[in-house]
């Protein structure tokens, strides 16, 4: 639809804008070690979670594609950080970092420990890391490894690192079970946001997209914002 001369273009809703931005996601590189990651200044958002928590499905659903993030045929075997660039018209304004799933029993203990250390170092030292999305299957709750990861990032969260916990596969729970899972997880993840998510039933997708967009564009005003006027300010401001 064209806009007549002198008319304002219709405002894009925050959800549409965020989903359109995530749809630009494209593979950049894979790094088996931290030193292989490129030095970047744009905001980076990391996805973490236990194997089989639905991380690849979540990333693909947000990006509106089936083949951006790949799930390993053997969960836990893939041990590399995959970076996906975001930004319209070929300009990169943010990154998604897909960290391998953790906690899968078939992976040798030495490999688990090595990769957990790589993850911890990444989460503690990656300078452009803006936020972390942790995925958790609410049917199993947050595990000891999830708690350890939360302990690792808690100092950075206190300093401003964003945290979003997604309870995936929410469609497998009834309303009462969803509410109970949210209540329990809220106690365990103090300091972060918490949402239900289901790719199958389209639960929480647009809300999550808007959160990620805001993380990457913290100072960008809404497209339909008006010039502020004194009379617009609430009393007392």
Domain boundaries, the chain: 14-217
Angle at 138 between CA 117 and CA 124, to 5 degrees: 25
- Which regions of the chain does DSSP assign to beta strands (E)? 26-31, 44-49, 81-86, 94-98, 129-136, 162-167, 193-196
CB crowding 96-128: b at 16 or more within 10 Å, else e: bbbbbbbbbeebeeeebeebbebbeebbeebee
Q: If pLDDT is split at 50, 70 and 90, which confidence band does 113 have?
A: confident
Backbone φ/ψ region at 64: left (φ over 0), alpha (ψ -120 to 50), beta: left
Residues 2-27, mean pLDDT to the nearest whole number = 82
Which has more pLDDT, 15 or 78? 15
Task: Tell whether domain 14-217 is in CATH 1.10.645.10.
Answer: no
Angle at 203 between CA 202 and CA 207, to 5 degrees: 110
Which of 64-68, 114-118, 200-204 has the weakest average pLDDT?
114-118
- Tokens 């490999």: give the residue: 111
pLDDT of residue 219: 76
Cα–Cα distance for residue pair 212/227, rounded to 1 Å: 26
CB crowding 51-69: b at 16 or more within 10 Å, else e: bbbbbbbbbbbbbeeeebb
pLDDT of residue 191: 75
Which of 80-84, 101-105, 218-222 has the weakest average pLDDT?
218-222
Q: Which two tokens stand for residue 77?
A: 């075997």
pLDDT of residue 9: 55
Find all residues with CB under 8 Å of 39, minimum gap 6, and list them: none
- pLDDT, averaged across the chain: 85
- Tokens 């090595």: give the residue: 114
Cα–Cα separations (whole angstroms), residue 184 to 49, 154, 188: 17, 18, 7
State whether the Cα torsion 12-18-20-21 is positive or negative. positive
Residues 104-127, mean pLDDT to the nearest whole number = 81
pLDDT of residue 233: 39
pLDDT at 78 over 90: no
Span 116-127, pLDDT tens digits: 788 889 999 999
Q: If pLDDT is split at 50, 70 and 90, which confidence band does 33 have?
A: confident
pLDDT at 71 over 90: no
């Amino acid at each position: 639809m064209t806009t007549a001369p002198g008319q304002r273009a219709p405002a894009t809703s925050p959800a549409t804008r965020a989903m359109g931005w995530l749809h630009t996601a494209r593979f950049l590189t894979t790094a088996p070690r931290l030193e292989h990651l490129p030095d970047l200044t744009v905001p980076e958002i990391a996805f973490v979670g236990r194997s089989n928590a639905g991380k690849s499905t979540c990333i693909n659903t947000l990006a509106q594609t089936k083949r951006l993030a790949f799930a390993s045929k053997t969960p836990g075997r893939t041990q590399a950080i995959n970076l996906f660039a975001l930004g319209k018209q070929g300009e990169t304004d943010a990154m998604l970092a897909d960290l391998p799933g953790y906690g899968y029993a078939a992976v040798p203990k030495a490999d688990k420990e090595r990769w957990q250390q790589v993850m911890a170092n990444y989460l503690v030292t990656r300078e452009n890391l803006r936020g972390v999305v942790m995925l958790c299957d609410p049917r199993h709750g947050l595990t000891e490894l999830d708690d350890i990861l939360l302990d690792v990032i808690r100092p950075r969260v206190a300093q401003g690192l964003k945290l979003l916990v997604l309870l995936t596969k929410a469609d497998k729970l009834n309303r009462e079970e969803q509410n109970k899972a949210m209540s329990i997880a809220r106690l365990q993840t103090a300091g972060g946001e918490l949402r239900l998510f289901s790719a199958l039933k389209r639960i929480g997708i647009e809300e999550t997209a808007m959160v990620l967009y805001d993380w990457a564009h913290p100072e960008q005003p809404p497209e339909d914002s008006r010039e502020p006027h004194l009379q617009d300010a609430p009393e007392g401001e």
